[in-house]
Each structure stands twice: as C-alpha cells, then as structure tokens.
Amino acid sequence: MAGLSLKKNLLTLVLVVILAGALVPGNVKGQNCGCQAKECCSQHGYCCTSNDYCGPGCQEGPCTSGSSVVDIVTDDFFNGILNQANEDCSGKSFYSRAAFLSSLSSYYQFRSGSADESKREVAAFFANVAHETESLCYIEEINGGSQDYCDETNTQYPCNPDKKYFGRGPLQLTRNYNYVAAGNSIGFDGLNCPETVATDPVISFKTALWFWMTNVHQVLNQGFGATIRAINGAIECNGGNPGAVQSRIQYYTQYCNQLGVAPGDNLSC
C-alpha cells in the first residue's frame, strides 16, 4: 500500500509540473528568445505580448518602451549614415538596414535595458562603424591586400597561406584568430574563407556584432571612451592617435543628438 501511495504522489507531482509549465504564457524560448512576430522578447529573454514583456527592458518585437533596436535604427537613421558615403563606394550597394536587422537574430542582448541605454549602445556601435568604414563606404580595409595580418604565433589557428586576414566588415574584423572565432560562433569558415565577410552582408554585420558582444558590450557602463579602448585602444588611446579618437567621439555625439539621448561621461580614452 505504501508503494502504491508513493507512485500516486509522484504521478500527481509530475502532472502539477506539466500543468504549471503549460500555464506560463509566452515562454516560447528562453534566454535567446526567437519570438513570434507579434510577441516581445523580455529583458530576461522570454516571449509574450503583455506589458511586462513589452515594457522596460524589452529586447525585441513591438516594444512599448521605445528601446527596440528596430525602432531606434530607423530607415532615416541608417540611411543617414550610408548617405554620407560617396556614390562610388562599394559599401553603398552592400550594407543595408535589412542586413543589419537580420544579423540581430543571433544577438538579442544587443541593447542594455532602458530606452536611453539602448539608444546610447546603438549610437556607440554605429559611431565606431562609421569611423572604421568612413560612413559605411568601405567593405574592406584600404590597401588591405598588401597585408595578411597572420599572427603566426597563434598556433591554435594556423593561417591558410593562400588567404589574408586584413580588416573586413563594419568593424573591420582583423587577424586569423578573430576570423576563426567569429566563424565558429556565426557559422562560416573564417580561416579558409575570410572573404565571406566582404561578400555576405548579413554575415558581415554578424561579425561586427560578434566582436561587439564579445569585447565591447560589457564596458558600455564605463562611457564611450571605453568602447574605443576595447576596439583599438593600443593604437589610438593615450595619445596614440587623437585624431581617430575625436572622429569616433564626433560620430557618437552626433548620433546621440539624433536619437535624443545624452551621450554620458567619459567620452575619450
């Protein structure tokens, strides 16, 4: 009898757990979201349509807090950057808002919570992109073909002798180890096909977001200057290249003004 009672209790517990899970609304996918078209991805990474999900901290979807990247990076904002590039720039027919938004599907954490924090992150990301590519003009580093940027000391990722690892994409991905790491994360052969970053616009933006989320996103609370240091600090910061630093800052403050958000402190590195 005791054994039968125990089995009944266990069965009851299992049914309670199943029913509890079924009653939780909108938890389609956890952490990485992947919500349906009309659902919001909450700040904790779950999907639903209620105000708790679409309000402050909403990461994606029809967010009511105004912090959705889709709402921030409008056609006018993106094209305003692209239109600064010369008409004969290769990036004019390569980079697009659609490609950028498509690349976000792999990086739901690319926003920091509140509307203002999200706007500052967007401004910081595109300020560095605009500087690196001269307003989305360049897909590849100027004269990049003259250098291969192979770090031969990195024996874990031996370079393909037929390939070069110069800067490509919105944040000018460089070095064999970065191409491999980005490729492994995104899903392309960075070691043997680094040119993919210059031929596939979605992968190109994904490499920029990969680098940003891996190396830059976590220092945003230290001010814009910290993003410069994370990207190119060894060359530009501490007086290394003050002109480049000021260029990045100028873009950042311009985009913050456009988005109606204060740029914050610690702008320089």
3-class secondary structure, 169:
coil
Predicted local confidence at residue 148, as pLDDT = 80
Predicted local confidence at residue 36, as pLDDT = 81
Q: What are phi and psi of 105, to 5 degrees?
A: -60, -25
Give per-residue pLDDT as tens, 200-257.
999 999 999 999 999 999 999 999 999 999 999 999 999 999 999 999 999 999 999 9
Question: Taking Cα atoms as reference points, which of 142, 46, 53 lies closest to residue 89?
Answer: 142
Partners of residue 40 on adjacent β-strands: 48
Give per-residue pLDDT as tens, 258-267.
999 999 999 9
For tokens 């460089």, the residue is 174
Partners of residue 168 on adjacent β-strands: 140, 173
Give per-residue pLDDT as tens, 91-141.
999 999 999 999 987 787 786 567 898 899 999 999 999 999 999 999 999
pLDDT band at residue 66 using 50, 70 and 90 as cut-offs: low
Predicted local confidence at residue 62, as pLDDT = 67
**Confidence check: pLDDT of 154 > 60:** yes
Tokens of 186: 């995104």
- Let me know if 132 is a catalytic residue: yes
For tokens 């004269």, the residue is 143
Catalytic residue among 39, 60, 121, 132: 132
Give per-residue pLDDT as tens, 6-63.
444 444 444 443 434 433 444 444 555 778 877 888 878 888 888 778 776 676 766 6
For tokens 């402050």, the residue is 56
Tokens of 85: 């590039």
As a whole number, mean pLDDT of residues 144-163 equals 86
As a whole number, mean pLDDT of residues 58-87 equals 83
Q: Tell me how far apart the alpha carbons of residues 191 and 107 are, in angstroms, rounded to a whole number.
A: 22
Q: Tell me how far apart the alpha carbons of residues 22 and 4 are, in angstroms, rounded to a whole number.
A: 27
Is residue 166 a contact partner of residue 175, using CB atoms and an 8 Å limit? no
Question: Taking Cα atoms as reference points, which of 260, 237, 259 lies closest to residue 248?
Answer: 237
Helix (H) / strand (E) element for 253: namely helix 242-259
Predicted local confidence at residue 12, as pLDDT = 47
For tokens 């913050």, the residue is 256
Question: Taking Cα atoms as reference points, which of 204, 45, 217, 24 lies closest to residue 132?
Answer: 204
Residue 232: which residues within 8 A CB-CB, separation 6 or more?
244
- Crossing angle between the packed helical segments 75-82 and 115-133, to the nearest 10 degrees: 20
**Confidence check: pLDDT of 5 > 60:** no
Q: Tell me how far apart the alpha carbons of residues 104 and 106 are, in angstroms, rounded to a whole number.
A: 5
Strand intervals (E) in the chain? 40-41, 47-48
